[in-house]
Structure formats: C-alpha cells, structure tokens
C-alpha cells in the first residue's frame, strides 16, 4: 500500500504541475482573445466590412440631344438582352448545351456566338449573367418569355442603349457611341463598367463628359465568392446633360435627301448668329450600327468605300474653292485700291504668261468685263489679271480674314484647315520658289488652294454681313452640374469698306438673277425669297494641251473620280440676308448644274420655315420643351412687322 501511496504522491505533484501548465496555456488563449477582440477589434471590424461590402457603380443615363426646336436626335432606348445564368441552368439538371439548343430554336445564335457564350460561362462564376444576345426586338422578347418555363437560367435583362431615331440624317453631326477601348480609360471608373459606351465622334465625342453625367454608387453586401446578398445603400448619380443643337432637323433631312446618291456636303448657317442650321455629308452611315458593334466586314466596307461615308465632308473635306473664291480676290483687290468697280479687263479667252497660257472657261472669251460682269459670268481672265496685279500675299491675307487657311475652331472634331498657299509655305513644303502662274491660278480658286464646305459657308456669311461670323453648333447645354449655357453671338466687324461689300453682294445677286448669270437656272422665283450666290467648278485633273486642242472632254464622258467638283456658295434673302449656304458635290460636274439647285432648295426651305407657321414638333423632349428662345421670338416679330 505504501508503494501505491508513493506513486499517488508523485502523481499528485506532477498533476499539479500539469494543471499549472494547462492553466498557463489557457491564459495565453485568453490573452490572445483579448488582443484580437478588444485591442484590435476596430481594425478587424473595418476589415470585415471591407470584405462584405462591395461598392458598385450605377451608370447615369446619357444626356439626350435635340435639334433647335426640341426634336430628339439622340435618345436612350431600352435594350432588351437575353442573359444566361449558368448556375440556374444547372440547378434544373439541364446541360448548357441543351439549353442553348432550345434557345436556338427561338432566336438566332450563330456557332461563333455559341462559342463565345460557352467560353464566357466557363470563365465566370455561376451566378454572373452572361449576355447571349443584345438588342432583341419585341417579338423575340415575347417568344422567349412564352418559353420561359422550358428555359431555366435564361432571363431577359433591360439595359439602356443609345438610339439615333434619324440615323443617317444626323450621323456626322452627332457622331456615335461605342465601347470604351483600352487607351480611352481615363481613370473615370464609369469607363470600366462592362458595356459602357462613350462618344467616339461628333457631338457625342466633343461633349462626352457633359453627356456622360456622374455615376451613382450602390453598396451591396456580398459573400466570399462575390454574390450579392442584399443592397445596403444606393446613391443615384447625376444624369448627363441635355444638349440642344442649332441644327434644324427638317433642313437637315432636306439636305440629306438632296445629296442622296451623291458624294458631297451641305452647310447652312444663320448669318445673324452663326447657328449651323444644317450640316450634311453624303454618303452617310447608320450610327446605331456602331452602338451594336460592327462586324469586321461592315467596318471594312465603311472604311474602304471611296466615297468615305465615315468622313464628315462638311468640315473635313477639302476642295479647291474654284470660282467661289473670286469674291475673295475681288475684295482683296478693291480694298487695296488695285481695281475699282469700273476697272475693265478684256477677255479674249486666254491669258499668256511666259510660255504658259491660262484659259478662260468660255472658249471665245467674254469681251470687256468690269468686276460685276466678271463675277456674274465668272470670267476667269478678269481674275487672272486681277490676281496678277494684287499678288498672292494680299489675296491670302484677305482669305484668312474671311475664314480660310486654318481651322475655324468649330465644335466638332476632325475639322480641316484647308490651305491658303504663300511664298513661304511653298518654299518650306515643296522647296521651290513661288511662280507667278500660281498666283493666276489662285485667282480662280485653283492651284494649291483648299477649303472646306464649312469655310465656304463662313466666307459667304462674313462677306455678306461684313462681320467676323463664327459658326456654332450648340445652343444650350443643360445639366444640374454644368448650369445652363446660352449666349447670343455678337460678332466684331471685319472692317471692310461697306461699298465694296455691297458691290460683291450685288454681283452675287446677279450671278443668280441676271440673264447672263451662271446660276440663273437655279434662281428662286418667289418674290421676297430671292437668293444670291456664286458657282464654282473645281478641276481635279490637269487638262493637257493636246486635249484642249481636240476639245475638252465633257464631265459626263469622264469616269467619276476624274470629274470636276461642283460648288456653290449663296445667301438669301437679298434684302437683309439671313442665311448663308455652301454646297459641294464631289465630281458633280458644274457648280451651276449640280450644286446651285441644292443651295436654292436649302435657302428657300430655310426662309419658308422662318416666315411660315412655326414648326410644331411632333416629339418634344420634356426638359427641352420650354418656349423657344427670346431671340427667335423677337426676330419673328420684326419679320412680320
């Protein structure tokens, strides 16, 4: 017994040590718990919240764009798309393949699309919706809804997508929106949202920031794999600004119609304030296609079309101004006192300069011409002589004052500056000295000279009004953040002699209305609506001496790309001119035949729309439906009185 009691004693001693050891270890546990749950609790609470709370961006609705009367040009449309949630498909014990096969009987899914869908499903978690197809029409939505019980995991999702109701009519002005590319990421988290679109051209691009708005935020509770459990907080963002353009949709439609089948551009502007009433480039494209995403083939077709449908020719097309430039030469010479209104030049059909001979378009010549006659009949010899006497430097100086030679700083991207060549320019770019023959060519708007249709319209506006008219495209930008922007333009005078301007104006009136005028066939006959203008035909090929001897080939005999460009600049009405127009029809033949009738229609319609009953917009935007601006109201009263 004593032996066991020894063992018991030893055991008890050691058990006490063991108990002490265990107590020590348990104390470390308690100490650790205290450290984690009391001392560090705050830090870990933050970490736990970071774990469970996920911040999501809510895309704001993109601002709408309307014409000057509130007709909507760019809106947001509900975009129905089919999405597939693979987790829900599998829940019903059906394979993805089977479901897609069933779906294929209802809506079209190409084998390529099918591949993409399967790939995305594999890459993403089961609860993340994968887009099967976007932009469903109502019929397709209905068919899917009807079959919903047979299609577990297939849902219809509603998103917003940009829609241009007048598609081709406004394409070049509005531009289009498309998915954000890698290089366009600017740090704005909105741009990283899948499916987010930004403006890629036109107004959509220039005012993208205003149109975009500010994203809202959504706090959601998520679990470890990212599934949303519940919404915690929602903060709506700022919708994008609404933009009102100066453009008149009806004029725009008319211009599009008139240019149909041609390649060219029309610009109509309000001389009084620089408002662009119409700006059309033909052929056009459907901007809605960009939003949906173009196929490679469609894109290639657009890019390789030699009529360049993607280019806004009104601002980016550069053409030799031809005879429309003669007013510039006339003003340069008048202002410098090199000619007077009565100065006469005899036109016998050509001018010799050294070995070269410069021909007038009229083979036999016009005879004795003063300035008004020369403009009316577009006599080339008169302007060869005048420009020779004036010199290229003075001509170019006047051209620059009238808006040529450099971009006008217009609101749309991609504006061309045209080209007004000087001695320095030629030396610098071609390394050759200026030739006097080139001055002569410049006198009839040929040679190195280039101008955009917008510049031509601005030239017309400036020399009719005598002011430094600057074109503008937007009337108002409305948003909570941007405030409201609207100012009426007050232009500085160009400082030209009013008598010289009047002479040029009268000459232009004669071009259309005089029996000898080159554009007489295109005159406006309604009294009070008459227009003035100037035709232009710019050569795109060189006419060889041999050809001239055999007789110059007619445009109709040439292939399209070798035909002359047809140009026309004009204004109306003759009393108190209000509208300026420029028309360029690429390879259209002669300005009087191809361009002048279009200009006539534009000017007539512009005047009719102002003097007639105010247009009743069929579809007026709620926020843009405020009464027309005071400017127009006042003008209407004055017009009526």
Catalytic residues: 323
Q: Is residue 44 part of the contact set for another protein (CB under 8 A)?
A: yes
Among 38-46, 242-250, 494-502, 511-519, which window interacts with another protein (CB under 8 A)?
A: 38-46
Element (H, E) at 121: helix 111-123
Shortest distance in whole angstroms from residue 123 CB to another protein: 18
Shortest distance in whole angstroms from residue 37 CB to another protein: 4
Residues 2-31, one symbol each (x = binds another protein by CB under 8 A, - = not), give -xx-xxx-xxx-xx--xx--x--xx-xxx-
Q: Is residue 127 part of the contact set for another protein (CB under 8 A)?
A: no
Among 1-9, 185-193, 232-240, 579-587, which window interacts with another protein (CB under 8 A)?
A: 1-9
Is the separation of the CB atoms in 535 and 595 below 8 Å? yes
DSSP state, residue 189: G
Among 41-49, 138-146, 526-534, 598-606, which window interacts with another protein (CB under 8 A)?
A: 41-49
In sequence order, the 6+-apart residues with CB closer than 8 A to the CB of 484 are: 476, 477, 478
CA dist list (Å): 225 to 125, 154, 530, 577? 8, 22, 73, 69
In DSSP notation, 375-396 reads: HHTT-HHHHHHHHHHH-HHHHH
In degrees and rounded to multiples of 5, residue 342 shows phi and psi of -100, -5
Shortest distance in whole angstroms from residue 228 CB to another protein: 11
- How far is residue 371's CA from residue 339's CA, in Å, rounded to a whole number? 9
Q: Is residue 223 part of the contact set for another protein (CB under 8 A)?
A: yes
Shortest distance in whole angstroms from residue 8 CB to another protein: 7
Shortest distance in whole angstroms from residue 229 CB to another protein: 7
Q: Is residue 34 part of the contact set for another protein (CB under 8 A)?
A: yes
Helix (H, G, I), strand (E, B) or coil at 198: strand
Cβ-based nearer residue to another protein, 23 or 616: 23
Cβ-based nearer residue to another protein, 225 or 297: 225
* Out of 73, 190, 203, 225, the residue judged to bind another protein by CB under 8 A: 225
In sequence order, the 6+-apart residues with CB closer than 8 A to the CB of 576 are: none
| Total residues interacting with another protein, rule: CB under 8 A | 41
23: buried, middle or exposed (CB in 10 Å: 19+, 13-18, 0-12)?
A: exposed
Shortest distance in whole angstroms from residue 128 CB to another protein: 17
User: Looking at 23-140, which runs of residues are DSSP E strands?
Assistant: 53-58, 65-66, 72-84, 130-133
Q: Is residue 222 part of the contact set for another protein (CB under 8 A)?
A: yes
- How far is residue 73's CA from residue 21's CA, in Å, rounded to a whole number? 83
Q: Is residue 37 part of the contact set for another protein (CB under 8 A)?
A: yes
* Out of 158, 224, 616, 630, the residue judged to bind another protein by CB under 8 A: 224
Cβ-based nearer residue to another protein, 24 or 616: 24
Angle made by CA atoms 632, 638, 641, in degrees to the nearest 5? 140
- How far is residue 74's CA from residue 62's CA, in Å, rounded to a whole number? 10
Tell me how far the alpha carbon of residue 619 is from its chain's centroid.
Answer: 22
Q: Which of these, 621, 639, 516, 518, lies nearest to 569 by C-alpha position? A: 518
Q: Is residue 356 part of the contact set for another protein (CB under 8 A)?
A: no
> Taking the CA atoms of the chain, what radius of gyration do you get in angstroms?
36
- How far is residue 469's CA from residue 460's CA, in Å, rounded to a whole number? 10
Q: Which of these, 527, 524, 465, lies nearest to 496 by C-alpha position? A: 465
Among 49-57, 279-287, 463-471, 566-574, which window interacts with another protein (CB under 8 A)?
A: 49-57
Cβ-based nearer residue to another protein, 229 or 626: 229
Cβ-based nearer residue to another protein, 231 or 357: 231
User: Looking at 522-605, which runs of residues are DSSP E strands?
Assistant: 532-538, 565-572, 579-585
Q: Is residue 125 part of the contact set for another protein (CB under 8 A)?
A: no
Shortest distance in whole angstroms from residue 20 CB to another protein: 11
Shortest distance in whole angstroms from residue 86 CB to another protein: 19
Structural tokens at position 625: 């439906």
In degrees and rounded to multiples of 5, residue 304 shows phi and psi of -90, -5
Instruction: Say if strands 72-84 and 130-133 run parallel, antiparallel, or are unpaired.
Output: antiparallel
Shortest distance in whole angstroms from residue 235 CB to another protein: 22
Q: Is residue 220 part of the contact set for another protein (CB under 8 A)?
A: no
Q: Which of these, 114, 81, 112, lies nearest to 99 by C-alpha position? A: 114
Cβ-based nearer residue to another protein, 11 or 560: 11
Element (H, E) at 350: strand 350-353
Shortest distance in whole angstroms from residue 216 CB to another protein: 24
Cβ-based nearer residue to another protein, 51 or 493: 51
Cβ-based nearer residue to another protein, 34 or 516: 34
Cβ-based nearer residue to another protein, 29 or 297: 29
Among 123-131, 209-217, 219-227, 558-566, which window interacts with another protein (CB under 8 A)?
A: 219-227
Shortest distance in whole angstroms from residue 90 CB to another protein: 19
In sequence order, the 6+-apart residues with CB closer than 8 A to the CB of 375 are: 326, 327, 330, 504, 507, 508, 510, 511, 534
Q: Which of these, 354, 169, 157, lies nearest to 247 by C-alpha position? A: 169
Q: Is residue 257 part of the contact set for another protein (CB under 8 A)?
A: no
Shortest distance in whole angstroms from residue 46 CB to another protein: 8
Cβ-based nearer residue to another protein, 221 or 632: 221
Residues 228-247, one symbol each (x = binds another protein by CB under 8 A, - = not), give -x------------------
Each residue of 455-481: b (16+ CB within 10 Å) or e? bbbbbbbbbbbbbbbbbbbbbbbbbee
Cβ-based nearer residue to another protein, 7 or 234: 7
Cβ-based nearer residue to another protein, 148 or 229: 229
Q: Is residue 521 part of the contact set for another protein (CB under 8 A)?
A: no
CA dist list (Å): 376 to 324, 513, 625? 11, 9, 45
Q: Is residue 560 part of the contact set for another protein (CB under 8 A)?
A: no
Among 215-223, 247-255, 297-305, 574-582, which window interacts with another protein (CB under 8 A)?
A: 215-223
Tell me how far the alpha carbon of residue 28 is from its chain's centroid.
Answer: 71
Q: Is residue 492 part of the contact set for another protein (CB under 8 A)?
A: no
- Interacting residues toward another protein by CB under 8 A: 1, 3-4, 6-8, 10-12, 14-15, 18-19, 22, 25-26, 28-30, 32-34, 36-38, 40-41, 43-45, 47-49, 51-52, 221-225, 229
């Amino acid at each position: 017994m004593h032996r066991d009691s020894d063992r018991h004693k030893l055991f008890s001693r050691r058990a006490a040590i063991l108990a002490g050891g265990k107590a020590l270890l348990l104390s470390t546990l308690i100490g650790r718990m205290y450290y984690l749950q009391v001392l560090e609790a705050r830090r870990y609470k933050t970490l736990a919240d970071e774990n469970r709370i996920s911040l999501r961006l809510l895309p704001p609705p993109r601002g709408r764009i309307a014409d000057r009367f509130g007709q909507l040009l760019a809106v947001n449309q509900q975009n129905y798309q089919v999405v597939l949630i693979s987790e829900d498909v599998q829940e019903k014990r059906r394979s993805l393949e089977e479901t897609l096969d069933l779906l294929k009987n209802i809506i079209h899914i190409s084998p390529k699309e099918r591949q993409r869908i399967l790939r995305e499903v594999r890459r993403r978690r089961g609860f993340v919706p994968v887009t099967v197809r976007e932009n469903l029409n109502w019929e397709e939505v209905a068919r899917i809804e009807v079959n919903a019980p047979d299609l577990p995991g297939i849902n219809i999702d509603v998103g917003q997508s940009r829609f241009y109701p007048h598609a081709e009519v406004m394409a070049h002005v509005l531009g289009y929106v498309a998915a954000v590319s890698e290089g366009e990421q600017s740090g704005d988290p909105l741009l990283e949202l899948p499916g987010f679109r930004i403006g890629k051209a036109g107004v959509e691009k220039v005012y993208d920031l205003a149109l975009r708005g500010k994203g809202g935020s959504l706090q959601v509770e998520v679990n470890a794999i990212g599934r949303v459990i519940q919404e915690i907080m929602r903060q709506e963002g700022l919708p994008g600004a609404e933009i009102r353009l100066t453009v008149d949709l009806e004029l725009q439609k008319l211009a599009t119609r008139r240019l149909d089948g041609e390649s060219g551009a029309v610009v109509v502007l309000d001389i009084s304030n620089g408002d662009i009433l119409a700006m059309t480039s033909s052929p056009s494209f459907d901007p809605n296609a960009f939003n949906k995403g173009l196929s490679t083939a469609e894109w290639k077709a657009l890019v390789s079309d030699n009529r360049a449908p993607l280019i806004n020719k009104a601002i980016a097309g550069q053409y030799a101004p031809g005879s429309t430039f003669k007013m510039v030469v006339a003003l340069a010479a008048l202002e410098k006192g090199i000619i007077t209104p009565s100065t006469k030049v005899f036109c016998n059909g050509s001018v010799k300069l050294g070995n070269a001979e410069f021909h007038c378009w009229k083979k036999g010549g016009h005879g004795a011409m003063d300035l008004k006659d020369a403009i009316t009949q577009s006599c080339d010899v008169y302007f060869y002589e005048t420009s020779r006497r004036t010199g290229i430097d003075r001509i170019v100086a006047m051209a620059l004052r009238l808006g040529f030679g450099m971009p006008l700083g217009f609101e749309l991207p991609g504006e061309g500056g045209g080209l007004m060549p000087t001695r320095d320019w030629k030396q610098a770019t071609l390394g050759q000295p200026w030739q006097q023959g080139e001055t002569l060519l410049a006198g009839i708007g040929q040679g190195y000279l280039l101008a955009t249709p917008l510049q031509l319209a601005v030239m017309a506006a400036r020399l009719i009004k005598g002011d430094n008219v600057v074109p503008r495209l937007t009337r108002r930008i409305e948003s909570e953040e941007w405030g409201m922007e609207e100012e009426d333009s007050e232009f500085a005078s160009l400082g030209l002699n009013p008598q010289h301007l009047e002479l040029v104006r009268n000459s232009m009136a004669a071009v259309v209305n005089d029996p000898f005028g080159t554009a007489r066939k295109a005159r406006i006959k309604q009294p009070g609506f008459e227009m003035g203008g100037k035709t232009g035909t710019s050569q795109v090929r060189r006419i060889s001496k041999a050809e001239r001897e055999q007789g110059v080939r007619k445009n109709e005999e040439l292939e399209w790309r070798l035909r002359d460009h047809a140009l026309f600049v004009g204004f109306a009405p003759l009393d108190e001119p209000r509208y300026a127009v420029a028309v360029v029809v690429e390879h259209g033949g002669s300005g009087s035949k191809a361009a002048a009738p279009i200009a006539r229609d534009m000017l007539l319609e512009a005047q009719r729309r102002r003097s007639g009953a105010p247009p009743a917009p069929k579809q007026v935007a709620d926020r843009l439906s405020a009464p027309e601006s005071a400017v127009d109201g006042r003008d209407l009263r004055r017009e009526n009185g």
